[in-house]
Amino acid sequence: MAAEFITKQLELAKSVSSLTWLGAINERGQRAFAEATVPTRKTEAWKYTSLYNLTETGFANAAPAAQAHADVIPGLQALRIVVANGELDTAASDAAALELVVRFRDARPEQQEAIRALLGEVKADRGHLFADLNDASINDGLFVLVEKNQRLEHPLHIVYANTSGDEAFTVNTRLLIALEQGAEATVIEHYSGDDTEAGKQNNFTNAVTEIRVGDNAKLVHYRLQLMAESAFHIGGTFIDLQRDARYEGFHLGMGTTLTRNDVVVNHNVGGSHCQMNGVYVPQNQQVVDFHTCVEHKVAHCTTDEVFRGIMNDKAKAIFNGRIHIHPDAQKTLAELSNKNLLLTNTAEINTKPELEIYADDVQCAHGATVAQLEEKARFYLQSRGISAAEAEVMLSFGFINELLNDLNDEAVGLWLRPQLAKRFGREDTLSAQLTGEL
């Protein structure tokens, strides 16, 4: 079925009417994908993540046209773009946002040149099977350009909302973000979709985001995955940092049938900083897989990476965080922390923090922990009149609340808390207590 999956996806990619000026990228992706093999458990990067359900289902159909409900983040003054089943929904998007973002299909010749110059360059030579599939299929996308010394007054909120269809289908999305010298922006990628009474989600989203942060520029980036449990999502986020650039990212994985995220950060010139935090909270039989790689290619760059996960029921999570210090990357300061909490004896976490160092004048540290709820803390709360159920959800929520408190935009944190609270306080009253609504 793996070979058939590649064949059908390639046929689907070729059936999509592509843009002439993206023809070279399509052909390159189709060649690479045709020569690829689907990873198995013997493939090191996919050792703990099975693609069986994905390849068995096939998702060999194009996405149907749809108008999907798009969540609004209360209290956040943002410019909103809505993409429903891979198609830009202009009616649901803000007019100001449509003026800011360039749609590939509507790009003028000079914009096409700018897109071609960057598209595929940030993720070059990563050997990412699903990024090749995205290249093979690309016939539209969004380009966000923040020009020199400009600052976006409001965050850009891009909502990718999927629905169910009569047949299982694939959605390939592409986002290209470029900040020129001295620019500043906040971009929120939000993937959503709910199982409804009419049926469960039967879609596979293959999302690729490429980001280039220019000299002395700053990007605050949220990648929020709050999709239906029955959905499939594989994403690649590739980030290039130039001189003195700053990237502050927050990655959330709520869990689906299969969620896989590859995040690659390149320190390319010097003086750049990467602050990357993440939270994953799968439940039931969901699978969440985060693979991060930070490439320190030059001297005087810093990285601070913190990921925390809470696994419930029979959920499974995988975290592989790698920091690679190249020979020329002297004076590097890099730290990686991954902490995990298992709420049941049937939940599973496979964590592998890695440091690969080829320079001798660096300060680096990494670590991982796996634990269950602290019995002493649980007993202390119960001795103060708090029920066992309340104590459990309070301790669970507190484990990740620190990272929510550190978010740059308070409105995003306030909106996420009730979403996350429902994972632990399955009774409405407990969820309300966690978020302060009672």
pLDDT of residue 372: 83
pLDDT value of position 438: 43
260 lies in the same domain as 383: no
- One domain, residues 239 and 381: no
Beta-strand ranges (E) seen in 94-168 are 101-103, 142-146, 156-161
User: Does residue 311 lie within any of the structural domains?
Assistant: no
- Is position 259 within any domain? yes
Position 106 in a domain: yes
Residues 255, 400: one domain?
Answer: no
Judge if 263 and 383 occupy the same domain: no
What is the distance between the alpha carbons of residues 233 and 230, in angstroms, rounded to a whole number? 10
Question: 383-428: per-residue pLDDT in tens?
Answer: 777 777 777 777 777 888 889 999 999 999 999 988 887 776 555 5
Query: What stretch of H or E contains 137?
Result: helix 129-137
Residue 267 pLDDT: 98
Locate 220 and state its tokens: 């605050």
Which residue among 203, 235, 269 closes a domain? 269
Residue 339 covered by a domain:
no
**What's the confidence (pLDDT) of residue 397?**
79
Statement to judge: residues 34 and 164 lie in one domain: yes
Which element (helix H / strand E) includes 66? none
Q: Under a CB-based contact definition with an 8 Å cutoff, are residues 235 and 200 in contact?
A: no
Total domains, the chain? 2
* pLDDT (tens digit per residue) in 246-274: 999 999 999 899 999 999 999 999 999 99
Last residue of a domain, one of 269, 286, 302: 269
Q: Does 132 share its domain with 262? A: yes
Interstrand relation of 79-84 and 87-88 (parallel, antiparallel or unpaired): antiparallel
Single pTM value for the model: 0.94
For residue 15, give its domain range: 2-269
Which residue numbers in the chain have pLDDT < 70?
Answer: 124-127, 195-199, 380, 424-438
Q: What is the DSSP string of 218-277?
A: EEEEEEEEE--TT-EEEEEEEEEE-TT-EEEEEEEE--BSEEEEEEEEEE-SSS-EEEEE
248 and 395 both lie in a single domain? no
- pLDDT attached to residue 152: 97
Listed residues 269, 294, 323: the one ending a domain: 269
Q: Are residues 120 and 235 located together in one domain of the fold?
A: yes
